[in-house]
Chain A
Protein backbone atom coordinates (compact mmCIF):
# COMPACT_ATOMS: atom_id res chain seq x y z
CA UNK A 1 0.00 0.00 0.00
CA UNK A 2 2.87 2.35 0.85
CA UNK A 3 4.14 2.11 -2.70
CA UNK A 4 0.92 3.65 -3.97
CA UNK A 5 0.55 6.30 -1.27
CA UNK A 6 4.17 7.45 -1.40
CA UNK A 7 4.23 7.70 -5.17
CA UNK A 8 0.69 8.76 -5.87
CA UNK A 9 1.72 11.60 -8.16
CA UNK A 10 4.10 9.33 -10.10
CA UNK A 11 1.37 6.75 -10.63
CA UNK A 12 -1.10 9.50 -11.44
CA UNK A 13 1.23 10.91 -14.09
CA UNK A 14 1.73 7.45 -15.55
CA UNK A 15 -1.98 6.69 -15.61
CA UNK A 16 -2.67 10.07 -17.17
CA UNK A 17 -0.04 9.36 -19.83
CA UNK A 18 -1.67 6.03 -20.65
CA UNK A 19 -5.14 7.60 -20.79
CA UNK A 20 -3.90 10.44 -23.01
CA UNK A 21 -2.17 8.04 -25.38
CA UNK A 22 -5.28 5.85 -25.49
CA UNK A 23 -7.66 8.72 -26.18
CA UNK A 24 -5.60 10.41 -28.89
CA UNK A 25 -4.64 7.15 -30.59
CA UNK A 26 -8.29 5.99 -30.43
CA UNK A 27 -9.45 9.15 -32.17
CA UNK A 28 -6.82 8.74 -34.88
CA UNK A 29 -7.61 5.03 -35.24
CA UNK A 30 -11.37 5.61 -35.48
CA UNK A 31 -10.98 8.35 -38.09
CA UNK A 32 -8.45 6.43 -40.19
CA UNK A 33 -10.30 3.14 -39.76
CA UNK A 34 -13.59 4.63 -40.93
CA UNK A 35 -11.86 6.23 -43.92
CA UNK A 36 -10.17 2.95 -44.84
CA UNK A 37 -13.44 1.02 -44.48
CA UNK A 38 -14.99 3.54 -46.86
CA UNK A 39 -12.10 2.99 -49.28
CA UNK A 40 -12.48 -0.77 -49.06
CA UNK A 41 -16.12 -0.71 -50.21
CA UNK A 42 -15.72 2.19 -52.66
CA UNK A 43 -16.53 1.80 -56.35
CA UNK A 44 -13.08 3.13 -57.30
CA UNK A 45 -10.68 0.22 -57.72
CA UNK A 46 -7.46 1.99 -56.76
CA UNK A 47 -8.94 3.14 -53.44
CA UNK A 48 -10.10 -0.43 -52.75
CA UNK A 49 -6.60 -1.72 -53.42
CA UNK A 50 -5.07 0.95 -51.17
CA UNK A 51 -7.48 0.10 -48.34
CA UNK A 52 -6.79 -3.62 -48.67
CA UNK A 53 -3.03 -3.16 -48.69
CA UNK A 54 -3.19 -0.81 -45.69
CA UNK A 55 -5.22 -3.29 -43.65
CA UNK A 56 -3.32 -6.43 -44.67
CA UNK A 57 0.10 -4.94 -44.03
CA UNK A 58 -0.71 -3.24 -40.73
CA UNK A 59 -2.63 -6.20 -39.33
CA UNK A 60 0.41 -8.39 -39.87
CA UNK A 61 2.99 -5.93 -38.56
CA UNK A 62 4.32 -6.51 -35.05
CA UNK A 63 3.54 -3.32 -33.12
CA UNK A 64 7.06 -3.23 -31.68
CA UNK A 65 8.45 -3.19 -35.21
CA UNK A 66 6.12 -0.31 -36.09
CA UNK A 67 7.21 1.63 -33.00
CA UNK A 68 10.84 0.83 -33.82
CA UNK A 69 10.42 2.13 -37.38
CA UNK A 70 8.34 5.21 -36.50
CA UNK A 71 10.03 6.41 -33.31
CA UNK A 72 13.61 5.70 -34.38
CA UNK A 73 13.16 5.91 -38.16
CA UNK A 74 11.18 9.07 -38.89
CA UNK A 75 13.75 11.36 -37.19
CA UNK A 76 16.24 10.21 -39.86
CA UNK A 77 14.14 12.08 -42.40
CA UNK A 78 14.48 15.26 -40.37
CA UNK A 79 11.00 14.75 -38.90
CA UNK A 80 11.60 15.48 -35.23
CA UNK A 81 8.43 15.40 -33.14
CA UNK A 82 7.76 14.71 -29.49
CA UNK A 83 7.89 10.99 -28.66
CA UNK A 84 4.30 11.05 -27.55
CA UNK A 85 3.17 12.17 -30.99
CA UNK A 86 5.16 9.37 -32.62
CA UNK A 87 3.56 6.89 -30.23
CA UNK A 88 0.07 8.16 -31.06
CA UNK A 89 0.89 7.89 -34.76
CA UNK A 90 2.14 4.31 -34.49
CA UNK A 91 -0.67 3.14 -32.19
CA UNK A 92 -3.35 4.94 -34.20
CA UNK A 93 -2.24 3.61 -37.59
CA UNK A 94 -1.85 0.07 -36.23
CA UNK A 95 -5.29 0.05 -34.61
CA UNK A 96 -6.97 1.70 -37.61
CA UNK A 97 -6.51 -1.55 -39.54
CA UNK A 98 -8.52 -3.46 -36.92
CA UNK A 99 -11.18 -0.74 -36.72
CA UNK A 100 -11.48 -0.84 -40.51
CA UNK A 101 -12.11 -4.59 -40.46
CA UNK A 102 -14.68 -4.25 -37.67
CA UNK A 103 -16.52 -1.53 -39.57
CA UNK A 104 -16.41 -3.51 -42.79
CA UNK A 105 -17.82 -6.58 -41.03
CA UNK A 106 -20.52 -4.26 -39.65
CA UNK A 107 -21.33 -2.95 -43.13
CA UNK A 108 -21.76 -6.54 -44.24
CA UNK A 109 -24.31 -7.21 -41.49
CA UNK A 110 -26.65 -4.54 -42.87
CA UNK A 111 -29.25 -6.29 -45.02
CA UNK A 112 -28.73 -5.89 -48.75
CA UNK A 113 -32.20 -4.44 -49.17
CA UNK A 114 -31.15 -1.30 -47.29
CA UNK A 115 -28.46 -0.43 -49.78
CA UNK A 116 -30.69 -1.42 -52.68
CA UNK A 117 -33.54 0.74 -51.41
CA UNK A 118 -31.20 3.70 -51.02
CA UNK A 119 -29.92 3.21 -54.55
CA UNK A 120 -33.40 2.91 -55.97
CA UNK A 121 -34.14 6.33 -54.44
CA UNK A 122 -31.27 7.64 -56.54
CA UNK A 123 -28.78 8.08 -53.72
CA UNK A 124 -25.12 8.25 -54.65
CA UNK A 125 -22.47 6.01 -53.09
CA UNK A 126 -21.45 8.50 -50.35
CA UNK A 127 -25.12 9.07 -49.52
CA UNK A 128 -25.92 5.35 -49.45
CA UNK A 129 -22.94 4.64 -47.24
CA UNK A 130 -23.12 7.69 -44.97
CA UNK A 131 -26.87 8.17 -44.55
CA UNK A 132 -28.23 4.63 -44.75
CA UNK A 133 -25.70 1.86 -44.27
CA UNK A 134 -23.14 3.22 -41.76
CA UNK A 135 -25.70 4.39 -39.16
CA UNK A 136 -27.13 0.88 -39.14
CA UNK A 137 -23.71 -0.74 -39.20
CA UNK A 138 -22.70 1.38 -36.18
CA UNK A 139 -25.20 -0.53 -34.05
CA UNK A 140 -23.57 -3.88 -34.65
CA UNK A 141 -19.93 -2.77 -34.49
CA UNK A 142 -20.01 -1.42 -30.91
CA UNK A 143 -18.65 -4.60 -29.21
CA UNK A 144 -15.84 -5.31 -31.71
CA UNK A 145 -14.73 -1.67 -31.66
CA UNK A 146 -14.80 -1.78 -27.86
CA UNK A 147 -12.49 -4.77 -27.74
CA UNK A 148 -10.21 -3.17 -30.34
CA UNK A 149 -9.91 -0.03 -28.21
CA UNK A 150 -9.21 -2.13 -25.12
CA UNK A 151 -6.44 -3.82 -27.08
CA UNK A 152 -5.17 -0.34 -27.97
CA UNK A 153 -5.09 0.69 -24.31
CA UNK A 154 -3.11 -2.44 -23.49
CA UNK A 155 -0.78 -1.95 -26.46
CA UNK A 156 0.02 1.57 -25.27
CA UNK A 157 2.30 -0.08 -22.69
CA UNK A 158 4.85 -0.55 -25.47
CA UNK A 159 5.21 3.24 -25.75
CA UNK A 160 6.77 3.32 -22.28
CA UNK A 161 9.84 1.55 -23.63
CA UNK A 162 10.18 4.28 -26.28
CA UNK A 163 10.62 7.22 -23.88
CA UNK A 164 6.93 8.09 -23.48
CA UNK A 165 5.55 8.72 -20.00
CA UNK A 166 2.95 6.04 -19.29
CA UNK A 167 1.90 3.62 -16.58
CA UNK A 168 4.21 0.65 -17.14
CA UNK A 169 7.26 2.92 -17.32
CA UNK A 170 6.75 3.97 -13.68
CA UNK A 171 8.21 0.67 -12.50
CA UNK A 172 11.70 1.87 -13.47
CA UNK A 173 11.60 4.91 -11.19
CA UNK A 174 10.09 2.88 -8.35
CA UNK A 175 12.73 0.22 -8.80
CA UNK A 176 15.47 2.82 -8.52
CA UNK A 177 13.84 4.28 -5.41
CA UNK A 178 14.05 0.82 -3.86
CA UNK A 179 10.37 0.02 -3.49
CA UNK A 180 9.10 -3.55 -3.57
CA UNK A 181 8.94 -4.57 -7.22
CA UNK A 182 6.03 -6.92 -6.76
CA UNK A 183 3.88 -4.26 -5.15
CA UNK A 184 4.74 -1.63 -7.71
CA UNK A 185 3.60 -4.08 -10.39
CA UNK A 186 0.40 -4.82 -8.48
CA UNK A 187 -0.55 -1.14 -8.63
CA UNK A 188 0.43 -0.92 -12.29
CA UNK A 189 -1.87 -3.87 -12.94
CA UNK A 190 -4.65 -2.14 -11.02
CA UNK A 191 -4.11 0.96 -13.16
CA UNK A 192 -4.47 -1.01 -16.38
CA UNK A 193 -7.54 -2.82 -15.07
CA UNK A 194 -9.00 0.60 -14.29
CA UNK A 195 -8.45 1.78 -17.86
CA UNK A 196 -9.65 -1.39 -19.60
CA UNK A 197 -12.68 -1.83 -17.34
CA UNK A 198 -13.68 1.81 -17.91
CA UNK A 199 -13.57 1.33 -21.68
CA UNK A 200 -15.45 -1.93 -21.27
CA UNK A 201 -18.14 -0.27 -19.13
CA UNK A 202 -18.42 2.62 -21.57
CA UNK A 203 -18.98 0.28 -24.48
CA UNK A 204 -21.42 -1.83 -22.50
CA UNK A 205 -23.48 1.32 -21.95
CA UNK A 206 -23.23 2.19 -25.66
CA UNK A 207 -24.20 -1.37 -26.52
CA UNK A 208 -27.25 -1.25 -24.23
CA UNK A 209 -28.28 2.11 -25.64
CA UNK A 210 -27.59 1.62 -29.35
CA UNK A 211 -26.63 -1.98 -29.94
CA UNK A 212 -28.76 -4.38 -31.84
CA UNK A 213 -28.29 -8.04 -32.53
CA UNK A 214 -28.69 -8.96 -36.15
Chain B
Protein backbone atom coordinates (compact mmCIF):
# COMPACT_ATOMS: atom_id res chain seq x y z
CA UNK B 1 0.00 0.00 0.00
CA UNK B 2 1.33 3.40 -0.95
CA UNK B 3 1.08 5.61 2.06
CA UNK B 4 3.63 8.13 0.82
CA UNK B 5 0.99 9.89 -1.26
CA UNK B 6 -0.74 11.67 1.60
CA UNK B 7 0.02 12.61 5.19
CA UNK B 8 -1.40 10.77 8.13
CA UNK B 9 -4.62 12.77 8.40
CA UNK B 10 -5.11 15.07 11.37
CA UNK B 11 -8.48 15.72 13.02
CA UNK B 12 -9.51 18.37 10.50
CA UNK B 13 -8.56 16.27 7.45
CA UNK B 14 -10.17 13.22 8.96
CA UNK B 15 -13.41 15.12 9.20
CA UNK B 16 -13.04 16.26 5.58
CA UNK B 17 -12.25 12.73 4.42
CA UNK B 18 -15.26 11.47 6.30
CA UNK B 19 -17.44 13.98 4.42
CA UNK B 20 -15.94 12.83 1.10
CA UNK B 21 -16.39 9.23 2.14
CA UNK B 22 -20.03 9.73 3.05
CA UNK B 23 -20.65 11.62 -0.20
CA UNK B 24 -18.95 8.91 -2.28
CA UNK B 25 -20.81 6.15 -0.44
CA UNK B 26 -24.07 8.00 -0.96
CA UNK B 27 -23.43 8.31 -4.70
CA UNK B 28 -22.51 4.61 -4.95
CA UNK B 29 -25.54 3.56 -2.92
CA UNK B 30 -27.74 5.76 -5.08
CA UNK B 31 -26.32 4.05 -8.15
CA UNK B 32 -26.99 0.61 -6.70
CA UNK B 33 -30.47 1.73 -5.66
CA UNK B 34 -31.16 3.02 -9.16
CA UNK B 35 -30.09 -0.29 -10.67
CA UNK B 36 -32.28 -2.17 -8.19
CA UNK B 37 -35.16 0.16 -9.04
CA UNK B 38 -34.65 -0.55 -12.75
CA UNK B 39 -34.57 -4.28 -12.04
CA UNK B 40 -37.83 -4.11 -10.10
CA UNK B 41 -39.38 -1.67 -12.54
CA UNK B 42 -38.77 -3.93 -15.53
CA UNK B 43 -40.16 -6.85 -13.55
CA UNK B 44 -37.00 -8.93 -13.17
CA UNK B 45 -37.96 -10.29 -9.75
CA UNK B 46 -41.34 -11.71 -10.70
CA UNK B 47 -42.00 -15.29 -9.69
CA UNK B 48 -42.49 -16.33 -13.32
CA UNK B 49 -38.86 -15.50 -14.10
CA UNK B 50 -37.37 -17.20 -11.07
CA UNK B 51 -39.41 -20.37 -10.58
CA UNK B 52 -37.75 -22.15 -13.55
CA UNK B 53 -34.59 -22.39 -11.45
CA UNK B 54 -36.47 -24.65 -9.05
CA UNK B 55 -37.06 -27.19 -11.81
CA UNK B 56 -34.76 -30.15 -11.77
CA UNK B 57 -34.29 -30.14 -15.55
CA UNK B 58 -33.12 -26.50 -15.55
CA UNK B 59 -30.71 -27.12 -12.69
CA UNK B 60 -29.32 -30.16 -14.48
CA UNK B 61 -28.96 -28.15 -17.68
CA UNK B 62 -26.94 -25.50 -15.83
CA UNK B 63 -24.82 -28.09 -14.05
CA UNK B 64 -24.15 -29.89 -17.32
CA UNK B 65 -23.07 -26.59 -18.86
CA UNK B 66 -20.77 -25.91 -15.94
CA UNK B 67 -19.39 -29.43 -16.24
CA UNK B 68 -18.67 -28.90 -19.93
CA UNK B 69 -16.93 -25.61 -19.13
CA UNK B 70 -14.73 -27.33 -16.56
CA UNK B 71 -14.05 -30.20 -18.95
CA UNK B 72 -12.85 -27.83 -21.66
CA UNK B 73 -10.75 -26.01 -19.05
CA UNK B 74 -9.16 -29.23 -17.81
CA UNK B 75 -8.20 -30.36 -21.33
CA UNK B 76 -6.95 -26.88 -22.27
CA UNK B 77 -4.93 -26.53 -19.05
CA UNK B 78 -3.16 -29.88 -19.36
CA UNK B 79 -2.50 -29.54 -23.09
CA UNK B 80 -1.28 -25.94 -22.89
CA UNK B 81 1.11 -26.83 -20.06
CA UNK B 82 2.49 -29.62 -22.25
CA UNK B 83 2.71 -27.41 -25.35
CA UNK B 84 4.29 -24.67 -23.26
CA UNK B 85 6.96 -27.07 -22.03
CA UNK B 86 7.71 -28.25 -25.59
CA UNK B 87 7.88 -24.73 -27.04
CA UNK B 88 9.94 -23.42 -24.13
CA UNK B 89 12.50 -26.20 -24.48
CA UNK B 90 12.52 -25.41 -28.20
CA UNK B 91 13.25 -21.76 -27.54
CA UNK B 92 16.00 -22.68 -25.07
CA UNK B 93 17.52 -25.22 -27.47
CA UNK B 94 21.13 -25.00 -28.57
CA UNK B 95 20.18 -25.75 -32.17
CA UNK B 96 19.45 -22.62 -34.11
CA UNK B 97 16.80 -24.16 -36.39
CA UNK B 98 14.75 -25.49 -33.46
CA UNK B 99 15.06 -22.18 -31.66
CA UNK B 100 13.99 -20.27 -34.74
CA UNK B 101 10.94 -22.42 -35.45
CA UNK B 102 9.72 -22.28 -31.85
CA UNK B 103 10.24 -18.52 -31.71
CA UNK B 104 8.14 -17.99 -34.84
CA UNK B 105 5.39 -20.27 -33.52
CA UNK B 106 5.32 -18.61 -30.10
CA UNK B 107 5.32 -15.08 -31.50
CA UNK B 108 2.63 -15.88 -34.06
CA UNK B 109 0.20 -17.57 -31.70
CA UNK B 110 0.66 -14.88 -29.08
CA UNK B 111 -0.14 -12.16 -31.60
CA UNK B 112 -3.34 -13.84 -32.85
CA UNK B 113 -6.67 -13.41 -31.10
CA UNK B 114 -7.65 -16.75 -29.53
CA UNK B 115 -11.01 -16.46 -31.22
CA UNK B 116 -9.43 -16.40 -34.69
CA UNK B 117 -7.71 -19.71 -33.95
CA UNK B 118 -10.87 -21.22 -32.49
CA UNK B 119 -12.92 -20.15 -35.51
CA UNK B 120 -10.23 -21.36 -37.88
CA UNK B 121 -10.25 -24.84 -36.38
CA UNK B 122 -14.04 -24.81 -36.17
CA UNK B 123 -14.85 -23.45 -39.63
CA UNK B 124 -11.89 -24.37 -41.81
CA UNK B 125 -10.98 -27.72 -40.30
CA UNK B 126 -14.64 -28.52 -39.47
CA UNK B 127 -13.79 -29.82 -36.02
CA UNK B 128 -16.17 -30.49 -33.15
CA UNK B 129 -16.81 -27.39 -31.01
CA UNK B 130 -14.97 -28.89 -28.03
CA UNK B 131 -11.93 -29.78 -30.16
CA UNK B 132 -11.91 -26.32 -31.73
CA UNK B 133 -12.20 -24.59 -28.36
CA UNK B 134 -9.53 -26.69 -26.68
CA UNK B 135 -7.06 -26.46 -29.56
CA UNK B 136 -7.49 -22.69 -29.82
CA UNK B 137 -6.99 -22.23 -26.09
CA UNK B 138 -4.03 -24.65 -26.13
CA UNK B 139 -2.23 -22.86 -28.95
CA UNK B 140 -2.61 -19.44 -27.34
CA UNK B 141 -2.03 -20.31 -23.69
CA UNK B 142 0.67 -22.82 -24.61
CA UNK B 143 2.70 -20.10 -26.34
CA UNK B 144 2.23 -17.67 -23.47
CA UNK B 145 3.20 -20.36 -20.97
CA UNK B 146 6.26 -21.16 -23.09
CA UNK B 147 7.39 -17.58 -22.57
CA UNK B 148 6.64 -17.84 -18.86
CA UNK B 149 8.70 -21.04 -18.55
CA UNK B 150 11.53 -19.52 -20.55
CA UNK B 151 11.55 -16.37 -18.43
CA UNK B 152 11.60 -18.59 -15.34
CA UNK B 153 14.53 -20.68 -16.52
CA UNK B 154 16.47 -17.58 -17.52
CA UNK B 155 15.73 -15.98 -14.17
CA UNK B 156 17.46 -18.75 -12.21
CA UNK B 157 20.84 -17.50 -10.99
CA UNK B 158 23.58 -18.26 -13.49
CA UNK B 159 25.70 -19.93 -10.85
CA UNK B 160 23.15 -22.73 -10.53
CA UNK B 161 23.57 -23.91 -14.11
CA UNK B 162 27.30 -23.37 -14.03
CA UNK B 163 27.68 -25.38 -10.84
CA UNK B 164 25.65 -28.22 -12.34
CA UNK B 165 27.83 -28.20 -15.44
CA UNK B 166 30.95 -28.17 -13.28
CA UNK B 167 29.66 -31.34 -11.63
CA UNK B 168 29.67 -32.96 -15.07
CA UNK B 169 25.93 -32.96 -15.74
CA UNK B 170 24.73 -33.08 -19.33
CA UNK B 171 22.66 -30.20 -20.65
CA UNK B 172 19.42 -32.18 -20.30
CA UNK B 173 20.33 -33.07 -16.74
CA UNK B 174 21.14 -29.44 -15.95
CA UNK B 175 17.69 -28.51 -17.23
CA UNK B 176 15.60 -31.22 -15.64
CA UNK B 177 17.42 -31.54 -12.32
CA UNK B 178 18.54 -28.00 -11.59
CA UNK B 179 16.96 -25.23 -13.65
CA UNK B 180 13.41 -26.37 -14.36
CA UNK B 181 12.44 -27.31 -10.77
CA UNK B 182 13.52 -23.88 -9.55
CA UNK B 183 11.97 -22.09 -12.52
CA UNK B 184 8.61 -23.81 -12.13
CA UNK B 185 8.48 -23.09 -8.41
CA UNK B 186 9.31 -19.46 -9.05
CA UNK B 187 6.84 -19.05 -11.92
CA UNK B 188 4.01 -21.00 -10.30
CA UNK B 189 1.96 -17.85 -9.50
CA UNK B 190 2.23 -16.64 -13.10
CA UNK B 191 1.41 -20.11 -14.45
CA UNK B 192 -1.75 -20.32 -12.31
CA UNK B 193 -2.74 -16.80 -13.38
CA UNK B 194 -2.39 -17.84 -17.00
CA UNK B 195 -4.68 -20.78 -16.27
CA UNK B 196 -7.24 -18.25 -15.02
CA UNK B 197 -7.06 -16.70 -18.50
CA UNK B 198 -7.71 -20.14 -19.99
CA UNK B 199 -10.68 -20.66 -17.68
CA UNK B 200 -12.12 -17.27 -18.61
CA UNK B 201 -11.61 -17.95 -22.29
CA UNK B 202 -13.51 -21.24 -22.19
CA UNK B 203 -16.55 -18.96 -22.38
CA UNK B 204 -15.56 -18.31 -26.01
CA UNK B 205 -16.99 -21.77 -26.65
CA UNK B 206 -20.37 -20.04 -26.43
CA UNK B 207 -19.63 -18.34 -29.75
CA UNK B 208 -19.07 -21.64 -31.56
CA UNK B 209 -22.12 -23.28 -29.96
CA UNK B 210 -20.14 -25.48 -27.58
CA UNK B 211 -22.65 -26.47 -24.93
CA UNK B 212 -20.94 -24.76 -22.02
CA UNK B 213 -22.21 -22.68 -19.12
CA UNK B 214 -23.21 -19.55 -21.06
CA UNK B 215 -24.85 -21.68 -23.72
CA UNK B 216 -27.04 -23.34 -21.08
CA UNK B 217 -27.90 -19.88 -19.76
CA UNK B 218 -28.83 -18.65 -23.21
CA UNK B 219 -31.13 -21.64 -23.69
CA UNK B 220 -32.98 -20.87 -20.49
CA UNK B 221 -33.00 -17.13 -21.15
CA UNK B 222 -34.66 -17.48 -24.54
CA UNK B 223 -37.49 -19.63 -23.24
CA UNK B 224 -40.82 -17.88 -23.72
CA UNK B 225 -42.58 -20.20 -21.24
CA UNK B 226 -40.49 -18.77 -18.46
CA UNK B 227 -41.11 -15.15 -19.52
CA UNK B 228 -37.59 -14.74 -21.02
CA UNK B 229 -35.63 -14.74 -17.74
CA UNK B 230 -32.47 -13.17 -19.18
CA UNK B 231 -31.47 -10.98 -16.25
CA UNK B 232 -32.09 -13.76 -13.66
CA UNK B 233 -29.89 -16.06 -15.73
CA UNK B 234 -27.09 -13.48 -15.77
CA UNK B 235 -27.55 -12.99 -12.02
CA UNK B 236 -27.07 -16.71 -11.44
CA UNK B 237 -24.33 -17.41 -13.98
CA UNK B 238 -22.01 -14.47 -13.33
CA UNK B 239 -21.37 -15.06 -9.61
CA UNK B 240 -20.52 -18.71 -10.29
CA UNK B 241 -18.24 -17.92 -13.24
CA UNK B 242 -16.57 -14.94 -11.60
CA UNK B 243 -16.31 -16.82 -8.32
CA UNK B 244 -14.48 -19.73 -9.97
CA UNK B 245 -11.99 -17.37 -11.61
CA UNK B 246 -11.53 -15.44 -8.34
CA UNK B 247 -10.79 -18.66 -6.46
CA UNK B 248 -8.08 -19.57 -8.95
CA UNK B 249 -6.67 -16.01 -8.87
CA UNK B 250 -6.65 -16.09 -5.08
CA UNK B 251 -4.72 -19.37 -5.26
CA UNK B 252 -2.14 -17.65 -7.48
CA UNK B 253 -1.72 -14.80 -5.01
CA UNK B 254 -1.46 -17.22 -2.09
CA UNK B 255 1.14 -19.34 -3.88
CA UNK B 256 3.11 -16.24 -4.78
CA UNK B 257 3.21 -15.10 -1.16
CA UNK B 258 4.20 -18.60 -0.03
CA UNK B 259 6.91 -19.10 -2.63
CA UNK B 260 8.60 -15.88 -1.58
CA UNK B 261 9.23 -17.44 1.81
CA UNK B 262 10.31 -20.76 0.24
CA UNK B 263 14.07 -21.36 0.61
CA UNK B 264 13.97 -23.56 -2.51
CA UNK B 265 13.32 -20.57 -4.77
CA UNK B 266 16.00 -18.32 -3.32
CA UNK B 267 18.01 -18.56 -6.53
CA UNK B 268 15.19 -17.24 -8.72
CA UNK B 269 12.84 -14.30 -8.54
CA UNK B 270 9.22 -15.30 -7.85
CA UNK B 271 6.97 -14.33 -10.75
CA UNK B 272 4.04 -11.96 -10.23
CA UNK B 273 0.59 -13.51 -9.78
CA UNK B 274 -0.46 -12.05 -13.11
CA UNK B 275 -0.90 -13.63 -16.53
CA UNK B 276 2.20 -13.51 -18.71
CA UNK B 277 1.47 -10.69 -21.11
CA UNK B 278 4.60 -9.44 -22.73
CA UNK B 279 4.76 -6.71 -25.31
CA UNK B 280 6.10 -8.36 -28.47
CA UNK B 281 9.57 -7.05 -29.19
CA UNK B 282 9.82 -4.81 -26.14
CA UNK B 283 11.63 -7.22 -23.88
CA UNK B 284 10.59 -7.68 -20.29
CA UNK B 285 8.35 -5.70 -18.03
CA UNK B 286 9.92 -4.07 -15.07
CA UNK B 287 9.32 -6.48 -12.22
CA UNK B 288 6.41 -5.23 -10.14
CA UNK B 289 7.46 -4.24 -6.68
CA UNK B 290 7.01 -6.59 -3.80
CA UNK B 291 4.16 -5.52 -1.59
A-side residues, CB < 8 A to B, are: 41, 43-47, 50, 56-57, 59-65, 68-69, 72-73, 76-78, 101, 105, 107-109, 112, 114-116, 119, 125, 128-129, 133, 140, 143-144, 146-148, 150-151, 154-158, 161, 168, 171, 175, 181-182, 185, 188-189, 192-193, 196-197, 200, 203-204, 207, 213-214
Name B203's contact: one of A59, A64, A181, A200 (CB within 8 Å): A64
A41 / chain B contacts, CB cutoff of 8 Å: 2, 5
B42 touches A154 (CB 8 A): no
A193 / chain B contacts, CB cutoff of 8 Å: 111-112
* Subset of 9 A-B contacts with CB under 8 Å: A41-B5, A47-B21, A56-B246, A63-B200, A68-B234, A119-B6, A125-B6, A128-B6, A155-B113
Instruction: Knowing A41-B5, A68-B234, A147-B277, say if A62 contacts B123 (CB, 8 Å).
Output: no
Q: Which of B250-279 contact A (CB under 8 A)?
A: 274, 277-279
Q: Which of B3-52 contact A (CB under 8 A)?
A: 4-7, 9, 13, 17, 20-21, 24-25, 28, 38, 42, 44
B288 / chain A contacts, CB cutoff of 8 Å: 105, 108-109
A158 touches B280 (CB 8 A): no
CB distance from B289 to the nearest CB of A (A): 5
A147 touches B2 (CB 8 A): no
B196 contacts A by Cβ under 8 Å? yes
Residue of A nearest to B18 (CB): A44
- Give bound CA distance, A128 to B3, whole Å: 12
Number of residue pairs A-B, CB distance < 8 angstroms: 179
B201 / chain A contacts, CB cutoff of 8 Å: 62
B-side residues, CB < 8 A to A, are: 2, 4-7, 9, 13, 17, 20-21, 24-25, 28, 38, 42, 44, 111-116, 119-120, 123-124, 196, 199-204, 206-207, 214, 217-218, 221, 230-231, 234, 237-238, 241-242, 245-246, 249, 274, 277-283, 285-286, 288-289, 291
Residue of B nearest to A104 (CB): B2
Name A46's contact: one of B24, B120, B274, B285 (CB within 8 Å): B24
CB distance from B206 to the nearest CB of A (A): 5
- Give bound CA distance, A101 to B285, whole Å: 14
CB distance from A37 to the nearest CB of B (A): 11
A144 / chain B contacts, CB cutoff of 8 Å: 277, 279, 285
B5 touches A76 (CB 8 A): no
Instruction: Knowing A46-B28, A133-B5, A192-B113, say if A60 contacts B280 (CB, 8 Å).
Output: no
B234 touches A105 (CB 8 A): no
CB distance from A177 to the nearest CB of B (A): 14
Residue of B nearest to A183 (CB): B124
A72 touches B230 (CB 8 A): yes
B230 / chain A contacts, CB cutoff of 8 Å: 72-73, 76
Task: From B218, B242, B279, name the one whose CB has the most chain A CB atoms within 10 angstroms.
Answer: B279
Residue of B nearest to A108 (CB): B289
Name B207's contact: one of A150, A154, A158 (CB within 8 Å): A158
Name B123's contact: one of A43, A171, A213 (CB within 8 Å): A171
A214 / chain B contacts, CB cutoff of 8 Å: 286
A129 touches B234 (CB 8 A): no
B4 touches A157 (CB 8 A): no
Instruction: Knowing A62-B201, A65-B237, A204-B281, say if A168 contacts B4 (CB, 8 Å).
Output: no
A181 / chain B contacts, CB cutoff of 8 Å: 123-124
- Give bound CA distance, A181 to B13, whole Å: 65
A189 / chain B contacts, CB cutoff of 8 Å: 112, 116
- Give bound CA distance, A214 to B289, whole Å: 10
A196 touches B280 (CB 8 A): yes
A68 touches B4 (CB 8 A): no
Which A-B residue pairs are the 4 nearest by beta carbons?
Answer: A115-B4, A62-B203, A60-B245, A154-B113
B282 / chain A contacts, CB cutoff of 8 Å: 143, 146-147, 200, 203-204, 207
CB distance from A49 to the nearest CB of B (A): 9
Residue of A nearest to B2 (CB): A41
A185 / chain B contacts, CB cutoff of 8 Å: 116, 119-120, 123-124
A109 touches B279 (CB 8 A): no
If A41-B5, A61-B241, A62-B202 are given as contacts, then 19 extra A-B residue pairs at C-beta distance below 8 Å, sorted by A number, are: A45-B21, A64-B204, A64-B214, A77-B38, A105-B289, A109-B288, A112-B4, A115-B5, A143-B279, A143-B283, A144-B277, A147-B282, A148-B277, A150-B279, A154-B112, A168-B113, A181-B124, A185-B124, A196-B280
Residue of B nearest to A73 (CB): B234
B20 touches A200 (CB 8 A): no
- Give bound CA distance, A196 to B278, whole Å: 12
- Give bound CA distance, A152 to B68, whole Å: 27
B241 touches A62 (CB 8 A): yes
Name A168's contact: one of B7, B119, B218 (CB within 8 Å): B119
